Amino acid sequence: MNASADAPFASGDTAEGPSSPRLGRQLIDALVDHGVTRFVAAPGSRNAPLLLALADAAAAGRVRLTMRIDERGAGFWALGQAKASGEPVGVVTTSGTAVGNLLPSIMEAHHAQVPIMVLSADRPETDLDTGANQTTRQPGIFTGFVRADAGLSDQVASSASVRHQAARLTLAARGTMGPAGPVHLNVRFSAPLVTADGEGDDAPARTKTDAAARCRPSGSDENVPAGTLHDARDVPAGTSRRQFQRQVVAPLARPVELPAGPRTVVIAGDATPTVGERARRAAEGYPLLAEPSSNARAGDALRFPRLLLRTGLAEEIERVVVFGHPTLSRPQQALLARDDVEVIQVGDSDTVPARAALVCGDIVLPAPAQLSAAEQSWNAQWKAVDAELATGVDALLAERWGGPKLAATVVEAVGHGDLIMGSSSPARDLDIAPVPAVSPRMWANRGLAGIDGLIATAGGVASETGSATLLIGDISFAHDLTGLLTGPLEDRPGVRIVVANDSGGSIFHTLEQGSNAHATYFERVFATPLTLGIESLARAVGATFHRAEDPASLRSALAAPIEGMQIVEVTIPRHDRRELDAEINALAQEVGRAGLP
């Protein structure tokens, strides 16, 4: 082992310059060697060693760097980018409250199993409790929401420890030994944070080919925690979580073959396109209750899962096979909590239903031809009731311009493209839209289903896919106005934001607080109506603006190619939302009773 290479980063000058810039360079180099090539950063002073190292790496074509003006937006941008790429994305912040602004996106990433690597710059530990500016207790700030965390300091870290932590945290983020998710590396930098002019220029240049290193820690094996890195050290750098599961984990787990007999439905919750396709294949011939963000809501999927679970058919379910993370409806959660229903979770989700009898890597259901006549008839009954519901719901919506028709129009316009859905009313509207033959690639923040950061998330998705459409309500839009801001030196991916502007939170009309008993304070404390000048905002940030008042004008606005940022404001009513919801639920009860033998 090279003694000089693995000496601590002691303060002061060396042949390679001050310790903090060297630590910044070596950390970025180590992460790139382990396949982390996407970074999102917000400007700051304490994170200067990381920012300069990233800027150099980006100029050399080794990393893709996105700069955002605020940390909250940076976190959600990284979330969208990691969702769309399936790869870990680093997010870099300065010290202090900057780190705390990542919490919403890290909570979402934890629950949605998205690999984000937080690199938070920090001051030396001796600055704590001294009144030093932007200094607080950053280690452990994400406790409970990260797969792993660690700390480095230019005062004590060695090159070996930098490589070790880069390897350990990258594998943890990818989920090679458990569910994927966020990780946190807190890095303490002491002054000087940057090199003087000409200082440190003899550091060896790195190129793209340097990332061909294997995904294992350098140095002795005594630094490798048992059961983590050592078991995966022959996995090539850049191996994604999906590739690792296929190459290393999958051969160890055979699909579970389920017996015929129990009346079975398949639930597909929030999931990647790959998992959604698996759910569709597994459910062939069975009732498939797919949420909009499951990427399984296409083809033979049932259109009205939430409504069907309010009918008598739901009482006859004996077994549920779950893919992804179902969150959207109360009837669904009630089904998964029933004592008389066997629940099987497919995949490595860490959000397994509490009553899951089995968690497995994959399942094989009996082929429809192997089922008894009674079982086949029961499965067919779900399709028949769903079709009858479609006739009735479409009749109710025919003369109504509102969220459901807006959502259906957007799905039709997006086609095979990428669609990010908002977490409140847009999700419910998409849940009753007609089922397309082929679903758009669906993305959503359903880990915690928060309404913040959605514009930045859409930007992150579009930065990977080329373009994307976001369907969002006006309150959610207002929550992420900083997501509209992109600096003149940054790439502007094609993002079309369709704002369903009903001047407030329409979802509350459908909940208990929307009843007449709470009418006195409903508008002020629940609906919170806004007078938002969306057109003025669009012009202020350089976005193209369209206004749509009906399906025809919306289709016209959506027909244009997505170039840069576009905002389409669609004005819809909300005060009939509760009435419409009640009519649809009553129809479901009526059709359900009529459809049962």
Six-digit token pair at 211?
Answer: 């990332």
> Is residue 200 very low, low, confident or very high in pLDDT (cuts 50, 70, 90)?
very low
C-alpha to C-alpha distance for 455 and 459, rounded to whole angstroms: 6
pLDDT tens figures, 86-143: 999 999 998 988 899 999 999 999 999 999 999 999 999 888 776 666 778 899 999 9
DSSP 465: H
Q: Quote the tokens at residue 148.
A: 């792993």
Tell me which residue of 584, 493, 569 sits closest to 531, measured CA to CA: 569
Which residues, 6+ apart, have CB-to-CB distance to 430 below 8 Å? 292, 407, 411, 421, 471
Alpha helices by DSSP H, 210-283: 241-244, 273-282
Specify the long-range contacts of residues 389-397, CB closer than 8 Å, at least 24 apart.
Answer: 389/303, 389/304, 389/307, 389/308, 389/587, 389/588, 389/591, 390/303, 390/304, 390/434, 392/587, 392/591, 393/304, 393/432, 393/584, 393/587, 396/580, 396/583, 396/584, 396/587
pLDDT interval class at 210 (50, 70, 90): very low
Indicate the class that CATH gives domain 401-575: alpha beta
Q: Per-residue pLDDT tens for 419-450?
A: 999 988 999 999 999 999 999 999 999 987 88
| CATH label, 256-389, candidates 3.40.190.170, 3.40.190.10, 3.40.50.1220, 2.40.30.10 | 3.40.50.1220
User: Taking a C-beta distance cutoff of 8 angstroms, is the pair 343, 318 a contact?
Assistant: no
* Pick among 3.40.50.300, 3.30.2350.10, 3.40.50.970, 1.10.490.10: CATH of 19-192+238-244: 3.40.50.970
The residue ranking higher by pLDDT, 340 or 525, is 340
Query: How much is the average pLDDT of 193-217?
Result: 44
Q: Is 338 helix (H, G, I), strand (E, B) or coil?
A: coil
CB distance 404 to 427 below 8 Å: no
Task: Assign 543 a pLDDT band (cuts: 50, 70, 90).
Answer: very high
Q: Where in the chain is the domain with CATH 3.40.50.970?
A: 19-192+238-244, 401-575
Q: Do the Cβ atoms of 114 and 87 come closer than 8 Å?
A: no
pTM recorded for the entire structure:
0.79
* Alpha carbon of residue 101 to chain centroid: 17
CATH code 3.40.50.1220 region(s) in the chain: 256-389
